[in-house]
Structure formats: C-alpha cells, structure tokens
Amino acid sequence: MTQQEIKGIIRNVPDFPQKGIQFKDLTTAFVRPDCLNWFQTELTKAYQDKGITKVLGIESRGFIIAPTVAMALGAGFVPVRKKGKLPAEVVQQSYLKEYGTDTIEIHKDALSPDDVVMIHDDLLATGGTIEAAINLVRKFGVKKIYASFLVELDALEGRKAIGEGVEVYSLIHY
C-alpha cells in the first residue's frame, strides 16, 4: 500500500454533513485489511522510538486504529469519550464547535505525570477536537504529548489550533 493508493480508496462525500463540506469517509479504507495494516504499521514506525506509554483514541473513529498502535508500541489505550459515556470519575474539557459546545472526558486515573502520550484521531480538520484533547491531557501534567492523524486537511490549518510543544504527524494530506 502507498499513500496514493489509500487516497484512491478514501471516499469523498460532497455536501456532508452540510452543503460545501467535502467529507473524507475513511470507512472505505477501514473495511480493507490491507489499509488497516498500513495505517497501523506506518503509525507504529513513526512512534516506535518516542517512549509512548499511553495512546489516546478520540471518540469514535480514533478508537479504530489507536488500540492497535498501542498494542504494537507496548503502551496502554485510553478512550477519550463524549460527556457522560465513562462510568467512573472523569476529567473534562469543553470546547466550541460550529453549532455550540461539546465536552470530552477521560477517567481521572487514566494518566499520570510519568506518561508520554500519543493522542490519535482519524482526521485533522479545523483542530477544535484535538485542541480540547491536548488541553485535557495537559491537566495531568504528562511528560510529552504527540498528536497523530490518518488524514489531515491542510487548507483548514488545524495545526494552528494545536499550538507549540506538541509534535504532529499525519499519514495522508489533502
């Protein structure tokens, strides 16, 4: 598999979820074992020497690849969930979206100051969700934060929301 082959497999859905949006539908890649393997292998190679102790997956499509990368790196997996989905005590972070606010959470005991964290999501667009996830993780005082994506929409400049001190890696750029 190559980046170009994967780009040819990812479906573009015009005007979803609203007019003017060109939605990148990764489910067409997720159904293929060769694509799943490529995603996991490439991310593992990129992070194998970073000392990652926890891989966080952002709900919901971040849950697809993040646990496989965590296993390959010998790290733990931490789900970043929407408000009200986790059963124990949580730490929260709210953020603005196009149509209001949203809140993400992780368990209060999920991270420690000794952790080196990789936050993973399927796609980086405007950066609001990853910015909130980074702010959430910073509350734990971890050693280092990395951010990874399968796809990055460069024209939307989502990296600007991430700020300094967080290394960003994306497998595919549009």
Catalytic residues: 61, 98
Nearest to 142 by CA among 40, 56, 47: 56
Q: Is it true that the peptide bond before 148 is cis, omega within 30 degrees of 0?
A: no
Q: Which two tokens stand for residue 15?
A: 């005007």
Q: Whole-angstrom Cα distance, residue 36 to residue 40?
A: 6
Q: Whole-angstrom Cα distance, residue 135 to residue 165?
A: 12
